[in-house]
Amino acid sequence: MKRSTGQDRSITSKWRPATCAVRGGTWRSEQGETSEALFVNSGYSFEDAHTPAARFAGEEPGNTYGRTQNPTVQMLEERIALMEGAEACRVQASGMAAMSAVMLCQLSAGDHMVIARALFGPTRWVTDNLLPRFGIEVTPVDGRDLDAWKAAIQPNTKLFFFETPSNPTMDIVDIAAVCGLAREHGIVSVADNAMASPALQRPLDLGADVVAHSATKLMDGQGRVLAGAIAGSAEFINNTLLPFQRNTGPILSPFNAWVILKGLETLNLRANAQADNALTVGKFLEGRVPRLLHPGLPSHPQFELAQRQMSNCGSVFAFEIDGGRKAAHTFLDALELIDISNHFGDTKTLLCHNASTTHSSLSEETRLAMGVTQNLVRISVGLEDPQDLIEDLDQALVKAGL
Ligand SMILES: *Cc1c(COP(=O)(O)O)cnc(C)c1O
C-alpha cells in the first residue's frame, strides 16, 4: 500500500502537474482507502502527557487542535502547493478569508500597499475601507501599466497585490515584470490566481512571492462549497501567515477541503475544456456584439502577453451590448439555457451583469475606472456543447433587440 507518497517531496518533486492534481498530498490511513479520507474531528487525544507538551512547544511535529491541523485539510494544502509549485500552502474558509488574511498577516499601521485597481469587488472593500481604518495606505494603479506600479512605490511600500486576468474586465497584469519590480524593491508580491487556476497559469514560476485563491471557483468547479488558499515559501506560510491564521481562525472545514480535493482531480480536464469552449463562444460573439474582452482572441489588447503567461486563456470573458442596464437585463431574462449567476468557473455556463450585482457596492466612479459599465456582461463558459450556448446567446440577443 502506497501510504503517503503524496506527502513525500522526494517523490512528488518528480511528478508532473497532472499527476500532482490526482495524487499530490494523498495520505492513507491504516485502512488503505483509495479515496482521501474525511476526518471529521476538531480535537486530538494523546498517548501520554509529554506528547502534547512537546507539540505545543513546537519541539515535535503532530496534531494539536483542529484550528491548526486536520489530515484531510493537510492533504488539500499539499496538493495545492504542488499544483502551484509552492513550498507550502494553507487553506481558508473562503476566497475572501484568504485575500484578507494574506494582507492582514503582513501589514501594519504605517505600511503602504499598491494594488491593481481592477480587483474582485469585496477585495476592493478590504483595501478601500478596512485597511485604512488600521492606518494602512493603499494606492490603486492601472495594473497593466508597469510605470504606474513603479511611480506608486514609496519607502514604506510592503505589498503589491493584483489579480490576472482581472474580474470581470479581463485586464492582464504582466506577472514577471510587476513581480520583478517588487523584488527589486524588497516588496512582497501577491497574485490572486482564482480566474486562471494553477491548471492554466502558475504565478510563482513567473516570479510572484505568494499566490492567493478563491478555491470556490474552478478548483471546486461544481458550485458546491466555498474555500480559499494561500501558497508560497515555507518561511512565509509558516512564520507570517500561520501565526495569523491559527489565532484568528479563518480555517477551512474538513468536509469542504475534501470536496475541493476531489475537484482538483479533474481541474486540468475541466479548466482546459471550458477554456476551449469559451474560445468557441467568444469567436461567435466577436461578430455579434460591439465589444468583446477575451484574452484568448487577437482582438484583446494584451493577447500576446496572455499567450505568454497562460497555457490556455480561461473560461471567463466579458462583452458589451448596447442599451445599458435595461438591455442587459432584458438579454439575461431571455436566456433559456444559460443561468443568471454571479458565480464563475462552474461546469454550468453562467452569465452576470456585474454593475448591478458583484460591483454594485462600489461608487460609480470606482466602477467606471475599472471598466465595469452598465453595458458590460460577464460569461463563465461551462462544459455544455458550445453550439447550444451559441444558439441560446443568439436568441436572447435577438429578444433584447440586439
Ligand atoms: C470569487 C473571488 C474571490 C472571493 O472568493 P470567495 O470564495 O467567494 O470568498 C476573490 N478573488 C477573485 C478573483 C474571485 O473571483
Which of 238, 264, 290 terminates a domain? The answer is: 264
Q: Where residue 334 falls among pLDDT bands split at 50, 70, 90?
A: very high
Q: Ligand 1, closest atom to CA 96?
A: 9
Distance CA 175, CA 177 (A): 6
> Any bridge partners for residue 114, and if so which?
139, 160
Q: Do residues 229 and 303 both lie within one domain?
A: no
Q: Do residues 299 and 251 both lie within one domain?
A: no
**Closest residue CA from atom 5 of ligand 1:** 95
Strand 316-320 to strand 291-293: parallel, antiparallel, or no bridges (unpaired)?
antiparallel
Q: Give the Å distance between the CA of 95 and the centre of ligand 1.
A: 5
Q: Give the Å distance between the CA of 204 and the centre of ligand 1.
A: 19
Tell whether ligand 1 has an atom less than 6 A from the beta carbon of residue 346: no
155-212 residue pLDDT tens: 999 999 999 999 899 999 999 999 999 999 999 999 999 999 999 999 999 999 999 9
Residue 49 lies in a domain: no
Tell whether ligand 1 has an atom less than 6 A from the beta carbon of residue 217: yes
Q: Where residue 95 falls among pLDDT bands split at 50, 70, 90?
A: very high
Taken as a whole, the chain contains a residue count of: 402
Contact 80, 17 (CB under 8 A): no
pLDDT of residue 370: 82
Q: Do residues 94 and 225 both lie within one domain?
A: yes
**Is the link from the previous residue into 203 a cis peptide, with omega within 30 of 0?**
no
Strand 210-214 to strand 188-192: parallel, antiparallel, or no bridges (unpaired)?
parallel
Q: Do residues 292 and 217 both lie within one domain?
A: no
Q: Looking at residue 228, which CATH number applies to its domain?
A: 3.40.640.10
Q: Does residue 306 carry a pLDDT above 90?
A: yes
Residue 44 lies in a domain: no
Q: Ligand 1, closest atom to CA 216?
A: 7
Q: Give the Å distance between the CA of 346 and the centre of ligand 1.
A: 13
Closest CA relative to residue 177, chosen from 198, 213, 150, 157: 150
Contact 231, 81 (CB under 8 A): yes
Q: Give the Å distance between the CA of 306 and the centre of ligand 1.
A: 21
Which of 237, 264, 291 terminates a domain? The answer is: 264
**Is the link from the previous residue into 165 a cis peptide, with omega within 30 of 0?**
yes
Q: Do residues 104 and 198 both lie within one domain?
A: yes
Residue 42 lies in a domain: no
Residue 177 lies in a domain: yes
- How many domains is the chain partitioned into structurally? 2
What domain range includes position 289? 269-399
Q: Do residues 241 and 287 both lie within one domain?
A: no
Decide: helix, strand or coil at residue 353. coil
262-298 residue pLDDT tens: 999 999 999 999 999 999 999 999 999 999 999 999 9
237: left (phi over 0), alpha (psi -120 to 50) or beta: alpha
124-155 residue pLDDT tens: 999 999 999 999 999 999 999 999 999 999 99
Contact 203, 175 (CB under 8 A): yes
Tell whether ligand 1 has an atom less than 6 A from the beta carbon of residue 354: no
Tally Cβ neighbours within 10 Å of residue 289: 17
Q: Do residues 118 and 248 both lie within one domain?
A: yes
